[in-house]
Structure 1
């Protein structure tokens, strides 16, 4: 079996040195679609290093900066074709706002391998630590591997959240660029599924699809701008389940509810593909605030 569950769970944590500067931050934001319109001072705070109010850093940049999204495939006990891999979900806890430049360490381990029958879900956790060893953020990503279930393991939690009550507080649309996946690849995710038409067809798609983290990052930015006045430091965490394919150039339709639970202060989110009958893209999504 390509996944040796015992070897994967027994593998020691991997420590990775991480360095970024404002150029990396600006490229990440541009890959999400920031900078439109190009003269808007609020947009320039994401992409202009000399902005008088300083350069913003969206917390999901820390996931990219750590470069550990699919590090699981370098672990003992894993031999998987990337064409069968999907990013199933992402959770991020923000301990402190990310600086525009830093030296850090990512400490990554596999915490669970769930058996979903027709697929396996590998849960990978990574803590991003600053130079003093203090945590900046903790992320958990769920790697969905088609055809690798049925090994007799636990199914694990469903990860579903209760549906929000009532109509959304706000619904708005967010266009994306046809070349958005090609731009986002420059942040470090080189999976050919997002660039090569042949690779995409081999995986069962008509054409290359947009990275789930790009879609999620664009949604988090849009909600931050509209509900938090662009204050990225107010974000305490975010999560989503990647429920469906989104194609570069399509329009995201984003629905937002204020979370009524004081224990999870923030917003519930849902994103759909507007041109395809509101096909689900992001579900079970939330953004929590300080």
Structure 2
């Protein structure tokens, strides 16, 4: 069996050094559609080195996207890239990401779930520099045809969207070459560039990286709700519910609400807010793209 769940989850943590520079941040921001209009001050925060702020979703590609690569090369895991899809992603930010950095990423596989016809590999990557923790990434990798090994099915919690109309709805056009640009940040899976490989995976043409949609969506929330203040993002989670094809338009719906106070802190006066998000493909009758999506927001910049 290509996946040995026991071996993967019991393996020693793997460490990797991550290094990034402003040009890596600039390339990532361009890869998720920043810079339109090119001279807009709100866009220059993402595209001009002298004014650069780092969108927290950059954590998924810092150092060349080694978190996802590390999960697919973990002991006990040997899978066909044509069978791999990104199932879900969470980034928890411990402090604002620097525009230039050198850090150590520690990766483990906490679980491998058996979904019957597929397996889900759960990868946790914790990243810290000389000043302390920077971010934690939790990644779910969906592998078709690798289930049925008798393991636990895993959690299936879902977020319920408010019944009221969204507080904000925006549309974001995905460029025809968006996947070709985004892959330069480190995800070289040919599924996103090679038509023949995409056909082998069951698609009639290459699809957009799920993490590109993830970044586009976070930028929309930061711009629309937080006035561009990236430092207020505390955590961001999603489940990838469907594919996006380059050239399509994303419809992003947002609902703002306070997060529930915990039982230990029922009287919190400054409970952070969160934004619940739904992302659909506007060109395909609002076919679901991102689901169970939430951005947790700190009360003020850190």
TM-score range, shorter chain: over 0.9
- Which residue of the partner structure matches residue 18 of structure 1? 18
- Which residue of the partner structure matches residue 127 of structure 1? 126
Contact in 1 for aligned 2:159/2:292 (Cα 8 Å): yes
1:48-102 CA distances to partner (integer Å, 9 max, x unpaired)?
112xxx3110011012104212312212211110100100000111100001001
Contact in 1 for aligned 2:174/2:246 (Cα 8 Å): yes
**In the alignment, does 2:298 pair up with 1:268?**
no
- Which residue of the partner structure matches residue 43 of structure 2? 43
**In the alignment, does 2:89 pair up with 1:90?**
yes
1:248-287 CA distances to partner (integer Å, 9 max, x unpaired)?
1100001100124344621000100000000000000010
Cα distance, 1:221 vs structure 2: 0.3
Contact in 2 for aligned 1:241/1:285 (Cα 8 Å): yes
CA distance in 1, matches of 2:157, 2:142: 13
- Which residue of the partner structure matches residue 61 of structure 1? 58
Contact in 2 for aligned 1:180/1:210 (Cα 8 Å): yes
2:208 pairs with 201, 207, 210, which one? 210
Contact in 1 for aligned 2:161/2:276 (Cα 8 Å): no
Q: Which runs of 5 or more residues in structure 2 are unaligned?
A: 262-271
1:287 pairs with 278, 287, 295, which one? 295
Cα distance, 1:157 vs structure 2: 0.3
CA distance in 1, matches of 2:161, 2:114: 25
- Which residue of the partner structure matches residue 135 of structure 2? 137
Contact in 2 for aligned 1:105/1:131 (Cα 8 Å): no
> Residue 246 of structure 1: SS of its match in structure 2?
coil
Contact in 2 for aligned 1:95/1:136 (Cα 8 Å): yes
- Which residue of the partner structure matches residue 31 of structure 1? 31
> Residue 25 of structure 2: SS of its match in structure 1?
helix
- Which residue of the partner structure matches residue 253 of structure 1? 251
- Which residue of the partner structure matches residue 114 of structure 2? 115
Superposition RMSD on alpha carbons, in Å? 1.1
CA distance in 1, matches of 2:201, 2:123: 23
Within a 5 Å distance, the mapping from 1:199-238 to structure 2 comes to: 199-238=197-236
> Residue 217 of structure 1: SS of its match in structure 2?
helix
- Which residue of the partner structure matches residue 243 of structure 1? 241
> Residue 36 of structure 1: SS of its match in structure 2?
coil
TM-score (norm 2): 0.93
* Ranges of 4+ aligned residues in structure 1 off by more than 6 Å: none
> Residue 27 of structure 1: SS of its match in structure 2?
helix
Cα distance, 1:139 vs structure 2: 0.7
Contact in 2 for aligned 1:239/1:285 (Cα 8 Å): yes
- Which residue of the partner structure matches residue 2 of structure 1? 2
Cα distance, 1:140 vs structure 2: 0.2
Contact in 1 for aligned 2:88/2:139 (Cα 8 Å): yes
Cα distance, 1:10 vs structure 2: 1.1
Contact in 2 for aligned 1:122/1:142 (Cα 8 Å): yes
Cα distance, 1:131 vs structure 2: 2.0
Which range moves more in the overlay, 114-123 or 256-265? 256-265
> Residue 122 of structure 1: SS of its match in structure 2?
strand
Within a 5 Å distance, the mapping from 1:177-216 to structure 2 comes to: 177-216=175-214
1:189-222 CA distances to partner (integer Å, 9 max, x unpaired)?
0000000000000000010000000001001001
> Residue 149 of structure 1: SS of its match in structure 2?
coil
- Which residue of the partner structure matches residue 101 of structure 1? 100
2:161 pairs with 160, 163, 185, which one? 163
Contact in 2 for aligned 1:104/1:128 (Cα 8 Å): yes
